[in-house]
Structure 1
Amino acid sequence: MKGLKLSILDLVPVFENRNDTYALEQAVLLARTAELLGYTRYWIAEHHGMPHLACPSPEVLLGHIGARTERIRIGSGALLLPHYSPLKVAESFRLLASLYPGRIDLGLGRAPGGNAHVSMALSGNFLENVRKMPDKLREVAELLQDSYIYEGEPVGARPSPPVQPEVWLLGTNKKSAEYAAEFGMGYVFGQFMSDVDGEEVLRSYRESFVPSTLCSKPKVIVTIGVICAETEDEAMQLANSSATATLFQKELTDGKTEAYSERKLLVGTSRSIKTSLEQMSEMYGVDEFMLVTMVPDYYKRLRSYELLAQELWNS
């Protein structure tokens, strides 16, 4: 598995009998551990109004985590662009990139990140904001390339970092892949949330990619759920927990659900998961996977990442 890179997507979950502050402390611990283990990136998801997810503002938490780590790339997975002004987004991530040069990733998404009323309270008509997504992506790209014009006047995003943030678009279908290709951005395919054919989505991205100063050639990361344990039985028990099933469950044709979809979630020992990742790497033509481990125990979540890292890089 030489050359394969692994990264982490953290939803910053609040598990039973714990509070938000504890969950945020665990996010810092996970980022610091990921750095020590050799993971490439640590990204934070954005959610609003969800009692069991503790991060509505990735850029704020990234500022704290950047100060507690030294080398690992850190970023948003994703910052939900329909809610925000492109200028404010560019300013926030240029500030992070100035504080932590060469380490910042701006991952963008177009999901609401919460229910309808939370979305309306946050930014008004979400569907109208989603309709503006291509314009907002273009503006973010122009701001990061210092070429943005507003009403005939140049507008810059300060500060100006020594190394620009890497820009990625996250998605689960061909529409998001088309946007990433059109605007010359890296693409992160959310396999853990998608039932579509990932090979076709990634092929369309690569074939349509337009090089930019942000990204000169197609770059792909595949995000997949992973539960790794000492034994297959323990891994299966964790996979069948309610916290895991809610995120990775599979809809059946009769309207019922399975505990999880094997397309979305890899479950097993470090050796079996390593084999699965090797197969996916060949199938998708990618060398980087971003892992989501959602089990209702902070220690076992951390242990899952540790076991896999030991198998991949110390075996």
Structure 2
Amino acid sequence: MTAMFRVHEQWGRRSMAYWWVSQNQTFRQEREGGYLWAPKSGSGGVVFTHWSNMTLVQPGDVIFSYARQSIGAIGVASSAAYDAPQPAEFEGGWNPDGRRVDVVYKTLNPEVPLRTFVEDLVPLLPDRNSPITKQHTGVQGYLFAIPLKAGELICDRLEFVAPVEQLVAETLAQSIPDETTKEALIQARLGHGRWRRDILRYWSGRCAVTGLEVASLLRASHIKPWRASDNRERLDVFNGLLLGPAYDAAFDAGLITFEDDGSIAISPRLPPNQLLAAGISERARLSTISETHRAYLAYHRESVLRPA
């Protein structure tokens, strides 16, 4: 496995990545200052992966702060890496030519000792460039990419699942001024996150209308749109439908919606002669529906469905 587990697409399109930063010497300074910092190279110009990983961090990535054998904080990157000299508050003989990433930290109180979850964590870590050895000891280094499942496990053990995604959304909302870019980036970071997995689980991995079970073709679609929802609604499993491509596109575009009994309602903007071509049935209906779904669907019918 490489150090670039999920860092494989243009940065604006990839989903949220998880990072482990070892801050035994700098935890207080970096947490209070709201940043990560690492030199570009060591003595003699030697470049280390655990420093060059700084260039792979993107806004919305989640960072676990490790110091004194415990996770002491969770952070969310609010910037990509940029050139910056060694912080004045640092004590040490590092190369002053370095990189900085701005971070919004959430301090954990109490800190969570690594020993409480290390046995479950280590099997999920890579054989190379891992922050923890097979013998459960820390590796000398600074910033390490960790796989999705390892990041999820840590969030679970820290009892910090929904708050992490809320922290990501809030950090990006505050750090990106352009609304269109902000919404697209937040959805890219969280689109393959816990909410989508919760939607897949709720609908048993099948399209809510057709029963399609090919996961790569299924889309987790908000009923009340992301931009109109608060943070709780954005992560609410009942504010989502699992739909195949045609139904998802039409639902998001306001060309179809669903009534309280689950039956489809079609916008006049989608002519009957185009339904078959679009792969949409006028007799379609949701396989199940709850009272909470109905509240969100009422919003969709009133505010998203396109009139004539």
Structure 1 length normalisation: TM-score?
0.28
Larger radius of gyration: 2
Structure 2 length normalisation: TM-score?
0.29
Greater percentage in helix: 1
